Amino acid sequence: MRLTAPAFDETEHALLRDCLASGWVTQGPLTERFERLVAERHHARFAFATTSCTAALHLAMMALEIGPGDEVILPAFTWVTTAHAAEYVGARPVFVDVTRDTFNIDPALLQNAITPRSRAIVAVHLFGLAAPMTEVLDTARRHGLAAVEDAACAIGTTYRGQPVGTFGDIGCFSFHPRKIVTTGEGGMATTNHEDLADRLRSLRNHGATGLPPTAEEPHGPWTMATFERLGFNLRFSDIQAAVGIAQMGKLERLLQERRARGERYSALLAGIQQLALPDGTGDGDGHTYQSYVVRIVDGDRKRRNEIMRHLADRDIETRPGTHAVHRLGFYAKKYGYGPADFPNAALCEDTTITLPIFPGMTDADQDKVVAALTAALRR
Ligand SMILES: Cc1ncc(COP(=O)(O)O)c(C=O)c1O
């Protein structure tokens, strides 16, 4: 049984055929439609589709003009590229530990991470559960910092009833195949700020800044864009957008199904002392279970791996939750982190298991996972 699977049907095929028949395949009208769908769903004024969430995070750092000498605060338990984005612009990622029950940044530790060099906090809505945005925004405002939401896992996620992605200055979404909406690869940056929107638009498109003034030369077929800043080609394609539009059309159904599966896992696994189940409510109130991640309580990495092996032997695919980024070679060597730093992130990397959850999963599939997991825990 696969860990996850995309929900493709005739709607993706039809839109892809239309896109190819139109002859327009790079970023164009379909990308704009896809951007509007995500923007409307997440209450954003502006949305910019890009090649990945990693690219969106990189664009966010550049749009916020973060650079060498600056520090960017982020959770230690996240996908590695949340930190890479700060490195791309020459800033230093400053890790903060997470709480074991939410897997999200621990708001009680945020203040300790602030220095005169702090420029931004990146809050990660990990696995589809919103980060503690009230505390993140309070801290950011008190210290004059930007707030970025890494919403890679968080299409459809709400925080206190409001969709994530515009609580901070910029939100960054992913459409990788492990996400609820996928375009193969892909991402999106959302914002409500016009100045940031202008920069995101330009940085994604080679640094193009507009058209030259007509006073210099009248506009015509010879007119090319002006380039007042260094930018990148991080544009989307209408082929991807065709898939994205079809996916957005079934988002509510996909979310409903995920939540039902997540809640059913929690009901079936409730009361097992060795397991900590994902926090389905908390302040977040909108866990989407993009990933359903359990933690082995009072177990170590070896024990967790034995359980994963037991499941793999029964044809059930699982993955660890995500990285304790400070332990990865690049960060450990560059900043001299040791094993005792950010203990919750380390523990979560070592003792979490992501269980299969995918569109079309049946009760029988889920019962098989639960039976194999409980048998492994008894061994
Ligand atoms: C929290 C988090 N941030 C960033 C990313 C990167 O997303 P992408 O693969 O679209 O670059 C991921 C991907 O899994 C993620 O989980």
- Of the residues 58, 84, 104, 174, which should be mutated to test ligand 1's pocket, given the most ligand atoms within 8 Å of the CB? 174
In the three-class reduction of DSSP (H, G, I as helix; E, B as strand; rest coil), residue 110 is classed as helix
Count of other CB atoms within 10 angstroms of residue 147:
22
* Residue ranges of the chain with per-residue pLDDT less than 70: 280-285
Cβ within 8 Å of residue 172, ≥6 positions away: 53, 56, 57, 60, 148, 149, 150, 151, 152, 187, 188, 189, 190
CA 45 / ligand 1 centre spacing (Å): 23
Q: What angle (nearest 5°) sits at the alpha carbon of residue 52, between those of residues 49 and 57?
A: 90
In 3D space, the residue among 138, 366, 123 whose CA is nearest the CA of residue 266 turns out to be 366
d(CA 243, CA 31): 10
Instruction: Tell me the C-alpha distance between 264 and 29, whole Å.
Output: 40
Instruction: DSSP letter for 212, please.
Output: -
**Do 278 and 127 contact (CB within 8 A), yes or no?**
yes
Instruction: Identify the sign of the CA torsion 28, 32, 38, 43.
Output: positive
In tens, the pLDDT along 260-285 reads: 999 999 999 999 999 999 986 655 46
pTM for the predicted model, two decimal places:
0.97
- The pLDDT score that the predictor gives to residue 285 is 63
What pLDDT score does 85 carry?
98
Rounded CA gap, 282 and 102, in Å?
A: 8
* Ligand 1 mutation target, pool 51, 53, 77, most atoms within 8 A of CB: 53
Q: Which residues form ligand 1's pocket by a CB distance below 6 Å?
A: 52-54, 78-79, 81-82, 124, 126, 150, 152-153, 174, 176, 187
Candidate of 51, 153, 164, 181 to mutate for ligand 1, largest count of ligand atoms within 8 Å of Cβ: 153
Q: Which of 54, 80, 127, 185 to mutate to test the pocket of ligand 1 (most atoms within 8 A of CB)?
A: 54
**Ligand 1 center to 215 CA (angstroms):** 45
- Encoded tokens for 338: 């040791």
- The C-alpha torsion from 38 through 41 and 45 to 49, rounded to 10°, is -10
| Ligand 1: centre distance to CA 11 (Å) | 26
Helices 251-269 and 363-378, packing angle to 10 deg:
30
Structure confidence at residue 45 (pLDDT): 98
pLDDT at residue 211, as a whole number: 96
> Are the CB atoms for 289 and 179 separated by under 8 Å?
no
Q: What is the pLDDT of residues 296-328, one digit of tens each?
A: 998 999 999 999 999 999 999 999 999 999 999
Pure H helices in 122-250: 133-143, 194-204, 238-249
**Cα dist from 305 to 13, 132, 215, 218, 309, whole Å:** 39, 30, 68, 68, 6
Sequence-ordered list of residues with C-beta below 8 angstroms from that of 323, at least 6 positions apart, any chain: 77, 78, 79, 80, 349
Residue 340: what pLDDT? 87
Range 324-329 contact pairs with CB under 8 angstroms and sequence separation of 24 or more: 324/76, 324/77, 324/348, 324/349, 324/350, 325/76, 325/77, 325/78, 325/80, 325/82, 325/83, 325/93, 325/95, 326/76, 326/95, 328/80
pLDDT of residue 378: 94
Q: How far is ligand 1, taken at its centre, from the CA of residue 153, in Å?
A: 7
At residue 282, the pLDDT reads: 52
Cα end-to-end distance, the chain, whole Å:
22
> Closest ligand 1 atom to the C-alpha of 186?
10
Rounded Cα distance between 367 and 379, Å, is 18
DSSP structure class, residue 278? P
In angstroms, how far is CA 56 from the centroid of its own chain? 10
* Residue nearest atom 7 in ligand 1 by C-alpha distance: 53
| Ligand 1 mean position, distance from CA 141 (Å) | 26
Span from the CA of 122 to the centroid of ligand 1 (angstroms)? 13
How many residues would you count in the chain?
379
User: What pLDDT does residue 204 have?
Assistant: 98
Residue identified by tokens 């005739």 is 10
